[in-house]
Amino acid sequence: MNLRIIVASLATTLVAGAAYGTEYFWTNTAADNDYLNGDNWTSGDPPVMGLPVLTGVAADDRNQMIVDLSGDDKAVLGDGVPPNVSAIRIGYNGTDGELEQTAGNLVATLNSNDASRVGRNGQIGSWTMSGGTASINAIQLGLGGGVGNMTISAGDLVISRGVRLNTISTSLSVGLGGEGNFTISGGSILTRTGTQISDQGTFEVIGTGPTGINFGGSGSIDGFWIQEAGGILRPGISSDGVTPIQVTFVDGLGLMGDVTFRAGAILDPYDAGDAKPGWNTVMTWGGTLIDEGLVLSQAAIDAGWEMRVVEKELQVKTALTQPFQVNEISFDAEIAKFSLAWNTTSGFDYTVYYSDVLTDVRSFGDIVDGLVDNDVTDADPAVGSYLFVFDDPAPEADRLFFTVEEN
């Protein structure tokens, strides 16, 4: 069966591992928010204080860590390396939950069929990384009417496997019958397989702080990107652009590095701070683009953004701060030369045309010698203007009309 034509709706039934081993519940009894402090956990019925998994446990115990407290009682992992567990659940059993990692090495890979889950059954789950490393089997954000938020500002997240949703093994699911939000502004994410963005899912990349966003590069399985109608891809363009999302073709196993945008999938670019005019690449892929109808958000349209696909790249064009126009034209009769000046955009070429008849613009031809390229001439993008001086192309004409075209 050709897996390239098999797709899954994120509203369908989830197939994943059931609970394994002991469930440990975060209590913050010691009031120090320390994830590594066993006094902050309970397990069993009746509850047993203390956390054996943090003081040594057999590898096959496959415990699950459940964090259902937030705010002042949130769990915080700083320096340290807690033992490997099967999965982490945040905001999972009737109350909101919050896990913050500032350093250390968090691992939840013991059970290859179990996924870590954030935000379930109407609750809000929040998982933030501002340092350290995390290796997780699979992550699912927003289940059953819950809200699951994951934010990475620094540190490195590796999603080492995928959990099967119907026919597709997925490393990162953003929205599974609930609202899912994934935001990365620094650090990195590297996955085994691909990601699915639901109709309530948002994947946001802010600026060029992230060092890598790679779906499918951590193992032998290809990456993929499936974005449902209503799902949002939100690239925040900063002064030096944005870190592109990479969807990797590895060896032809799985969905072959393909990118699928369902009809009504949304692209929502925005200015994340001093965005420069011009095109920016927001996603690249090694396989095939299946575009059933990706659309710009209304906010992006109103702000003047554009999108395009160039070979295997999705790009957005930052709205110009000023309209493209010729700012100056002059003629020096003593040396028979014209001067034209216009505002430029980084990454664009310009062609100059002339005519002695207003309705019949003819190519300027060899006098221009091709294109004026803002990337290779002395045009200064910081100044944003270009001065072009050239010989009179038609000395016999009584009058001339010029057109500058931005390409």
pLDDT in tens, 103-159: 999 999 988 888 999 999 999 999 999 999 999 999 999 999 999 999 999 999 999
CA 11 to chain centre: 22
C-alpha to C-alpha distance for 87 and 63, rounded to whole angstroms: 7
Question: C-alpha distances in angstroms, 389 versus 83, 209, 328, 336, 396?
Answer: 70, 40, 11, 10, 19
Give per-10-residue mean pLDDT for the chain (407 aa): 33 39 88 92 56 43 85 95 90 95 94 91 97 96 96 97 79 95 98 95 98 87 94 96 93 80 98 89 96 97 94 88 77 89 72 76 45 40 69 84 78
Question: C-alpha distances in angstroms, 103 versus 133, 182, 186, 254?
Answer: 7, 20, 14, 33
Q: Are strands 306-310 and 313-318 parallel, antiparallel or unpaired?
A: antiparallel
Q: By C-alpha distance, which of 344, 360, 354, 364 is closest to 406? A: 344
Q: By C-alpha distance, which of 222, 216, 151 is closest to 180? A: 151
C-alpha to C-alpha distance for 10 and 260, rounded to whole angstroms: 14
Q: What is the per-residue pLDDT for 373? A: 42
The sign of the torsion formed by the CA atoms of 233, 261, 126, 113 equals negative
Return the CATH number of the domain spanning residue range 326-406.
2.60.40
Question: C-alpha distances in angstroms, 18 versus 186, 193, 195?
Answer: 33, 21, 21
Q: Which two tokens stand for residue 274?
A: 């001093």
The residue with tokens 């700012």 is 327
Single-letter amino acid, residue 22: T
Element (H, E) at 300: helix 298-302
C-alpha to C-alpha distance for 41 and 26, rounded to whole angstroms: 5
Query: Do residues 14 and 146 touch, judged by C-beta distance below 8 A?
Result: no
Q: What is the per-residue pLDDT for 250? A: 76
Query: Do residues 10 and 228 touch, judged by C-beta distance below 8 A?
Result: yes
Helix (H, G, I), strand (E, B) or coil at 59: helix
Q: What is the per-residue pLDDT for 376? A: 34
Question: C-alpha distances in angstroms, 345 versus 192, 280, 311, 380, 402?
Answer: 38, 12, 22, 10, 20
Q: What is the per-residue pLDDT for 320? A: 59
C-alpha to C-alpha distance for 198 and 404, rounded to whole angstroms: 44
Q: What is the per-residue pLDDT for 197? A: 97
Query: Do residues 223 and 268 touch, judged by C-beta distance below 8 A?
Result: no
- CA atoms within a 13 Å half-sphere pointing along the CA-CB vector of 208: 9
Q: What is the per-residue pLDDT for 261? A: 98
Q: Provide the b/e sequence for 194-228 (b: ≥16 CB within 10 Å).
A: bbbbbbbbbbbbbbbbbeebbbbbbbebbbbbbbb
Please state the pTM of the whole predicted model. 0.74
Spell out the domain ranges in the chain.
66-318, 326-406
The residue with tokens 């500032």 is 102
